[in-house]
Amino acid sequence: MTNKINLFIFFTILFLFVRPLWAQSQSGGGRYVIEQRYVQQLVWIGDEYTLKYEVVIEQNENGKYKTYLQEFTEEPNLLVSLPLGKYRYRIIPYDYLELPGEASKWVNFEIKPAPIVSSDAPKDETAPGVDDVIVINHDEPETQEEPEVEEPFNLFINIAWSPVIPLYGRIREIFGNGFNAVGASVRFGALYNGLQWFKPGIELSMSWYALNNSQGVDKIGIQTGITGFNFLAQKKLPFPNMAVTLRAGAALAFQVGEINIEQYSYTTGGLIPQINIEVSFLWFAYKKLYLEAGIGFNQLIGKDNHSGCLRPCISAGWQF
């Protein structure tokens, strides 16, 4: 009898203890949250000089944007999985020297829930699911210009002021170590865009300079016209709209000189071959208009005229 009484008391206590938990479960006291996420693809226009891209995504929280995702990719696109909300993103390119370039403008977009399809309605196979790519609704759509298709060749022409600085040889013996400001040149050529690291090219140039030296009644003057052919190598710099160009080639100079010393007066001249090398920096100031500054070295070759001089240049040109 005692065992039956003890067993009754045990089941009574167990029932009173378990019932509140059972009642809580039936009343819906517990709860869970399902976060809706979708797969989105961000796509942008790449650049041949870019090593990688940094993608920065910020989320709008109570009117303020906070960084949500910061990731690097070598491709001009990125797959992300974002919950519902408002966001903005921008792209920062990095060149082959691991230096960041100019960041793009912020692009705003919103992730909205997928349309609800009734269970009684026929299933739409095109409706996006949790793992489908959905359309990003931009809050502020921007009109994107069509990307420019780069031509295989770029033609260019420029006009330069190019003075002369004698260094050694006959040219320095006659005119000293001065700076002769009278000089100009015109160049036109072509660059090939098919290589990744630099643009090779060729160039024809025509230049002119005048050297004059007067001491009392004694006067020496030389007029020189030069036609040359150069090979070019142009490399884009990590700075915006800037490039460096290296030139090397040969030229043929036609020189006419007039000498008046005391009572003697005579003229001289002839053809003088020369070789040259030059380095210059370009800045594309407006679209295809560029400004160029550099310095070159000319070596004149002749039986009695192994002379060398520097020719700085400041020019303006147009690529088309």
Last residue of a domain, one of 111, 135, 161: 111
pLDDT in tens, 89-107: 999 998 877 888 888 889 8
Question: Domain check: are 107 and 157 in the same one?
Answer: no
The reported pLDDT for the residue numbered 194 is 83
The CATH number of whichever domain residue 56 belongs to comes to 2.60.40.10
Question: Domain check: are 174 and 311 in the same one?
Answer: yes
Q: Is residue 165 part of a domain?
A: yes
Query: Which residue has better confidence, 90 or 42?
Result: 90
Last residue of a domain, one of 54, 77, 111: 111
Tell me the DSSP string of 202-251: EEEEEEEEEEEEEETTEEEEEEEEEEEEEEEEEEE-SSTTEEEEEEEEEE
What's the chain's average pLDDT? 79
Question: Domain check: are 42 and 105 in the same one?
Answer: yes
pLDDT in tens, 121-166: 555 544 444 444 444 444 444 444 444 556 788 899 999 999 999 9
Q: Is residue 123 part of a domain?
A: no
Contact 259/268 with Cβ under 8 angstroms?
yes
Q: Is residue 216 part of a domain?
A: yes
Contact 309/298 with Cβ under 8 angstroms?
yes
pLDDT in tens, 273-311: 999 999 999 999 988 899 999 999 999 887 666 789 999
As for how many domains the chain has, the answer is: 2
pTM above 0.75, yes or no: no
**Least confident residue range of 77-86, 163-172, 215-224, 309-318:** 215-224
The reported pLDDT for the residue numbered 53 is 92
Q: Is residue 237 part of a domain?
A: yes
Question: Domain check: are 185 and 274 in the same one?
Answer: yes
Q: Is residue 174 part of a domain?
A: yes
Last residue of a domain, one of 77, 111, 145: 111
Neighbours of 187 (CB within 10 A): 22
Q: What percent of the chain has pLDDT over 70?
A: 74
pLDDT band for position 119 (cuts 50, 70, 90)? low
Question: Domain check: are 75 and 172 in the same one?
Answer: no
The reported pLDDT for the residue numbered 171 is 81
Question: Domain check: are 172 and 253 in the same one?
Answer: yes
pLDDT at 23 over 50: no
Residue 283, CA distances (Å) to 14, 187, 290 in order: 87, 17, 5
The reported pLDDT for the residue numbered 7 is 55
pLDDT at 248 over 80: yes
The CATH number of whichever domain residue 303 belongs to comes to 2.40.160.20
Q: Is residue 315 part of a domain?
A: yes
Find the domain containing 52 and state its range.
37-111
**Residue 54 half-sphere exposure toward CB, CA atoms < 13 A:** 12
Q: Which residues contact 289 (CB under 8 A, 6 or more apart)?
A: 316, 317, 318
The reported pLDDT for the residue numbered 131 is 42
Question: Domain check: are 219 and 88 in the same one?
Answer: no
pLDDT at 27 over 60: no
Question: Domain check: are 160 and 307 in the same one?
Answer: yes
Contact 283/258 with Cβ under 8 angstroms?
no
61 sits in which H/E element:
strand 50-61
